[in-house]
Amino acid sequence: MAIPENKLAFGDGWQYSPAPESIDHIKVRKKYDLFIGGDFVAPVKGRYFETINPATEERLSRVGLGTELDVDKAVAAARKAYSSWSRMKAAERGKYVYRIARILQERAREFAAIESLDGGKPIRESRDVDIPLAAAHFFYYAGWADKLDYAFPGRTARPLGVAGQIIPWNFPLLMAAWKIAPALACGNTVVLKPAETTPLTAMKLAEVVADAGLPPGVVNIVTGAGDTGAAIVNHPGVDKIAFTGSTAVGRIIQKALAGTNKRYTLELGGKAANIIFADAAIDQAVEGIVNGIFFNQGHVCCAGSRLLVQESVADQVIQKLKDRMDTLIVGDPLDKNTDIGAINSAAQLETIESYLAIGEEEGAELYQSACPVPDRGYWCRPTLFTGVSQSNRVVQEEIFGPVLAIQTFRTFSEALSKANNTRYGLSGGVWTDKGAKIFKITQNVRAGVVWANTFNKFDPTSPFGGYKESGVGREGGLHGLDAYLKLEA
């Protein structure tokens, strides 16, 4: 079938003017210490590391490099705070968590700008998604604090103790909120380690925690890299580990926790199939594909990184997708017109580029939009691979970048078996106008979150988490409480 050539072509005649978010109001200190026991304290060994702006490669600040000694102090502070925090009247505990939500809302724009500076994500996303959702998460779980008796019928819910929480760099503040909010509401105290490339909003959150008047030691934040995280995982004074990150590291953590009585929840990798049936609303589906894989530069564990499109509409969908990709603006994360910001780090860019090479070596056909990218910083144009097969590495492995692998299918059962032919099971998507088909797909895709005729939607009330090697446990909603409670008869 010939594709009608009905694309609007403006050439270079219609450029967007720059629309940068103002950053004169934000406050980033030159140096951040660790937040332990309610105070900012220098790391014991006095070492710091740089955090840079991935869009400019310039240094934003220096943050403390926490070692085992600092983790030990943080756990001690959390343990000390636990006895009174866990026994505090639940409604009062909830009010502290509400305060965090309110202060985050008040300072939302500052947080959004810093999130984009430190992590490279477009301001439109940090402003409209990350920060509002983070505040909403605190607000949602705050209200659970004095209602836990209603959450688990026949059971008495009790807090676990000190929660060690290790979060990734793709949604820095939002992941901190996902971890801290339910932990505090349930009466636990926490030691949180932000990702090494994106520590700033977590340190700003430490300021919020202090401003909210939380008792010292209820929230402790220790910055650092993998060794710091390992110190938290291995610390005998920690009762629960919550980790979001790669399946490889999750596996190491699960093994490290063997033989201990520590509870754990793991939110790990994904390779979601986004399934487009011929009867879908194609233009909406194309928007869904774009949102599914290019949201947050594809640094999303639940990204729709595999497109499965029914053969009869494949040419049409791929052409429309390419046309749409050509309109995406890659560049300054602080510009309100930017669609795709900076890749989070040089190391991640290297990983993504290695997969681009792998895909081509495997015989796949690569397409990238031709948009300009800045000279400095870490960038990757939106990319898709066609002509891939199920066993290709770009189909099986998580790339964590703006790279989409496209496969076709003829029948419903072929779509389903391809979708489920993965060790992951975090998310999935389906696009069709037939309700019965939606339910048949959503019931049979082995994944914890399934979006039908939409993609990449999140909400504090909505449980999130994976099947199979995508993790253990859920975060969000009533089901997310379970991760921070022991249920007694």
Partner 1 sequence: MAAKSKRVPVAKTYKIYIDGKFPRTESGRYFALEDKKGAVIANVCRGSRKDFRNAVVAARKAQPGWAKASAYLRGQILYRIAEMLEGRREQFVAELRAQGVANRAAEKEVDTSIDRLIYFAGWADKYQQIFSAVNPVSSSHFNFSVLEPTGVVSVLAPDDSGLIGLVSNIAPAIVGGNSCVVLASESMPLCAVSFAEVLHASDVPGGVVNILTGFRSELTEQFASHMDVNAVVYCDADKKTAAAIQVAAADNIKRVISRVRIRWPDASAQHPYLIRDTQEVKTTWHPIGV
Point out the residues that are catalytic. Answer: 267, 301
Instruction: DSSP letter for 342, please.
Output: -
Taking the complex as a whole, how short is the minimal distance between the CB of residue 447 and partner 1, in angstroms?
A: 7
Specify the stretch interacting with partner 1 by CB under 8 A; choose among 159-167, 179-187, 211-219, 449-457.
Answer: 449-457
Give which of 174, 175, 224 is closest to 35, Cα–Cα.
224
Distance from the first to the final alpha carbon of the chain: 65
- Judged by CB, which is closer to partner 1: 365, or 459? 459
User: Of 451, 481, 483, 484, which lies in the binding site for partner 1, with binding defined by CB under 8 A?
Assistant: 451
SS3 annotation, 34-61: EEECCEEECCCCCCEEEEEECCCCEEEE
Give which of 205, 234, 223 is closest to 66, Cα–Cα.
223
Q: What residues numbered 408-427 form the site for partner 1, per CB under 8 A?
A: 423
User: Of 351, 386, 421, 454, which lies in the binding site for partner 1, with binding defined by CB under 8 A?
Assistant: 454
Q: What residues numbered 360-379 form the site for partner 1, per CB under 8 A?
A: none
Taking the complex as a whole, how short is the minimal distance between the CB of residue 52 and partner 1, in angstroms?
A: 33
Give which of 37, 42, 34 is closest to 77, Cα–Cα.
37
Specify the stretch interacting with partner 1 by CB under 8 A; choose among 175-183, 202-210, 368-376, 471-479.
Answer: 471-479
Give which of 327, 301, 437 is closest to 382, Cα–Cα.
327
Strand partners, 241: 164, 264
User: Of 28, 328, 329, 472, which lies in the binding site for partner 1, with binding defined by CB under 8 A?
Assistant: 472
Neighbouring residues of 248: CB distance < 8 A, sequence distance ≥ 6? none
Specify the stretch interacting with partner 1 by CB under 8 A; choose among 147-155, 211-219, 368-376, 389-397.
Answer: 147-155
Residue holding tokens 């610390």? 235
Binding mask 23-42 for partner 1 (x = CB under 8 A): --------------------
- Judged by CB, which is closer to partner 1: 33, or 482? 482
- Judged by CB, which is closer to partner 1: 206, or 249? 249
* Nearest-angstrom CA–CA distance, 207 and 297: 29
- Judged by CB, which is closer to partner 1: 253, or 325? 253
* Nearest-angstrom CA–CA distance, 407 and 131: 35
Q: What residues numbered 263-282 form the site for partner 1, per CB under 8 A?
A: 266, 268
Q: Are 206 and 69 in contact (CB under 8 A)?
A: no
Is residue 452 a contact point for partner 1 (CB under 8 A)?
Answer: yes
User: Of 29, 109, 147, 468, which lies in the binding site for partner 1, with binding defined by CB under 8 A?
Assistant: 468
Q: Are 331 and 339 in contact (CB under 8 A)?
A: no
Specify the stretch interacting with partner 1 by CB under 8 A; choose among 64-72, 102-110, 156-164, 447-455.
Answer: 447-455
- Judged by CB, which is closer to partner 1: 6, or 443? 443
User: Of 25, 27, 30, 255, which lies in the binding site for partner 1, with binding defined by CB under 8 A?
Assistant: 255
Is residue 448 a contact point for partner 1 (CB under 8 A)?
Answer: yes
Q: Are 119 and 172 in contact (CB under 8 A)?
A: yes
Strand partners, 189: 162
3-state DSSP call for residue 365? strand
- How many residues touch partner 1 under the rule CB under 8 A: the total is 46
User: Of 185, 449, 481, 483, which lies in the binding site for partner 1, with binding defined by CB under 8 A?
Assistant: 449
Is residue 125 a contact point for partner 1 (CB under 8 A)?
Answer: no
Backbone angles phi, psi at 452, to 5 degrees: -110, 125
* Nearest-angstrom CA–CA distance, 219 and 237: 15
Specify the stretch interacting with partner 1 by CB under 8 A; choose among 37-45, 361-369, 374-382, 446-454.
Answer: 446-454
Specify the stretch interacting with partner 1 by CB under 8 A; choose among 6-14, 90-98, 210-218, 252-260.
Answer: 252-260
> What's the CA dihedral at 183, 187, 192, 194 to 10 degrees?
30
- Judged by CB, which is closer to partner 1: 379, or 424? 424
Q: Are 214 and 31 in contact (CB under 8 A)?
A: no
Is residue 471 a contact point for partner 1 (CB under 8 A)?
Answer: yes
Taking the complex as a whole, how short is the minimal distance between the CB of residue 301 and partner 1, in angstroms?
A: 14
AA letter at 205: L
Is residue 436 a contact point for partner 1 (CB under 8 A)?
Answer: no
User: Of 64, 161, 250, 331, which lies in the binding site for partner 1, with binding defined by CB under 8 A?
Assistant: 250
Instruction: DSSP letter for 295, please.
Output: G
Is residue 258 a contact point for partner 1 (CB under 8 A)?
Answer: yes
Tokens of 362: 């495997």
* Nearest-angstrom CA–CA distance, 223 and 202: 9
Task: Using alpha carbons, list the distances in angstroms from residue 24 to 20, 28, 60, 113.
Answer: 11, 11, 14, 10
Q: Are 265 and 472 in contact (CB under 8 A)?
A: yes
Is residue 156 a contact point for partner 1 (CB under 8 A)?
Answer: no
- Judged by CB, which is closer to partner 1: 222, or 280? 280
Specify the stretch interacting with partner 1 by CB under 8 A; choose among 31-39, 320-328, 367-375, 438-446.
Answer: 438-446
Instruction: DSSP letter for 355, please.
Output: H
Interface residues with partner 1 (CB under 8 A)? Answer: 136, 153-155, 247, 250-251, 254-255, 257-259, 266, 268, 423, 438, 442-443, 446-454, 457, 459, 461-465, 467-472, 474, 477-479, 487, 489
